Structure 1
């Protein structure tokens, strides 16, 4: 994880949703994003594009559009849109095209990167039990990595937020077991897999689109009623995810990967508590 040291950068804040451009601009200004972006030469945006389902299952392209425009106002950095889809029957390039990201990249001269096919680097950490050895795309190890997640419950990890979104980095060449999902090996212990993968590469800036929210299941089902109507952002993914859990009426202390990450990858401080 690239540590953000500027004392104006805030761990986590919440903004009322008034449209992507306005809400995102307000919350990123408030957490101190401009000063961080200004000194960056490369920014990697990692949306949640698990399959071809539209928002709120996947990150809305309008959210990413607003983020790209915000970055361009504050930085001359090269912007990369990066994802490694989980769908066993589709390739990432198909999903980029289906959900409007290929068009978005062409419009703004962005690089599209398929993390499922990117060159890998091997890393080790003897303190990790699930990933004592891991292979991750070399391209995400430098530059400012922004996780742009959607507020959702999850059948295995309880929530899927900014840290869970990092599982898209795991290459199918090493982490697909069977045909059910391109990252299916991680199902063996999802909570620890999320935590330990983030020990190797956590997002530098975490954003959650909580304008709607999926109340029960990450691939569909009922939306939150009423809509949550928030945007969450910050430079501490643990605080951001604890806040996202609270917006789903869940205590972060009962969510394994957030509990494991608290005090090690950040601090689970929920604004207003």
Structure 2
């Protein structure tokens, strides 16, 4: 019998630029899957046709502006006809809320970006919308402080703290390192995912954008599960999910660190269907060479998306007009707190992992995401 997870996983691959490769991999792991899900296979293949230009390139939009709401709608407008939504769709919006701190500090997704996405979905008849996050034990507090409770009241959307959600242990087909993972059922059982990361430097993964943001769907100690061989595990996890849109909040990003970094006023929203392509452009906007971002390149090699700039069409603003060099140095505050070297040695990284592994799981771990 086909599980609900199987059918919803098939729905969430809509928009994957290499969907045939992913279907092939998944069907190898579960041979019965294609037989009972032919209609989803057809939907998936049809949905990606408009996304590819005549030259086979993926499109990534860059919108520029200081107003998070208007700039997000501007970016989304480039994809208004490229993903089909049904009134019965259950859509999860996955922001990055690693700490209950204001978005102007560059650490968390701006609530106005999420509001624009809700408006975009409502204009397409979607009523069942969930804002879901599990970035840290203080997620409920963050929902209140950052204005998400107001969104719930205004639009009737649901807020789900994934840390408290029911979960299912999923076996990852063709995994490299992460063989199984506990994933929140709210995410597994939705019809579509819209991924809304923040434009940030990460102290271990170099950047935290679309691919890395999916760590928040894990119902477990994410730092303990993911931070050893983090790049390979990010890609293993990302192979399970295909968001229909990835919308990077770069109005204010963060350099140096993902939790206590310095804010960078970039005034950009970056959007696209292909997670790898979006993260490639996001890296370039931060002044980094995408070829040096390990998990992005691994994801491209695994067939999850495109990282070759020659095969990505940037629409809207050009990279060179919005590029700002983000510092990748580790924050002095973090180094001082933990007495670590700069850059972090392998011994320092091991020390951090062991320190948090031995902590009370209810205590906020700034390295969890």
Identify the TM-score tier after normalising by the shorter chain.
0.7 to 0.9
Does residue 246 (structure 1) correspond to residue 284 (structure 2)? The answer is yes
CA gap of 1:121–1:33, structure 2 versus 1, over 3 A, is farther
Does residue 209 (structure 1) correspond to residue 245 (structure 2)? The answer is no
Helix, strand or coil at the partner of 2:199: strand
Structure 1 residue runs of 5 or longer lacking an equivalent are 177-181
CA gap of 1:33–1:219, structure 2 versus 1, over 3 A, is farther
1:160-179 deviation line (CA, Å, top 9, x unaligned): 1011110001112xxx2xxx
- Residue 228 of structure 1 is aligned with which of 257, 262, 266? 266
Helix, strand or coil at the partner of 1:79: strand
- Residue 7 of structure 1 is aligned with which of 49, 53, 57? 49
Greater Rg over alpha carbons, structure: 2
After TM superposition, give the deviation of residue 126 of structure 1 in Å.
5.1
Query: What residue number does 2:71 align with?
Result: 23
Query: What residue number does 1:94 align with?
Result: 141
1:238-261 deviation line (CA, Å, top 9, x unaligned): 100111110111112111110011
CA gap of 1:187–1:6, structure 2 versus 1, over 3 A, is closer
After TM superposition, give the deviation of residue 94 of structure 1 in Å.
1.9
Does residue 70 (structure 1) correspond to residue 120 (structure 2)? The answer is yes
Helix, strand or coil at the partner of 2:210: coil
TM-score (normalised: structure 2): 0.66
Does residue 49 (structure 1) correspond to residue 97 (structure 2)? The answer is yes
Structure 2 residue runs of 5 or longer lacking an equivalent are 1-11, 16-46, 52-57, 320-369
Matches of 2:126 and 2:242, distance apart in 1: 23
Matches of 1:71 and 1:125, distance apart in 2: 30
Query: What residue number does 2:233 align with?
Result: 193
- Residue 183 of structure 1 is aligned with which of 214, 223, 227? 223
1:152-201 deviation line (CA, Å, top 9, x unaligned): 101001001011110001112xxx2xxxxx53321112111211110112
After TM superposition, give the deviation of residue 231 of structure 1 in Å.
0.9
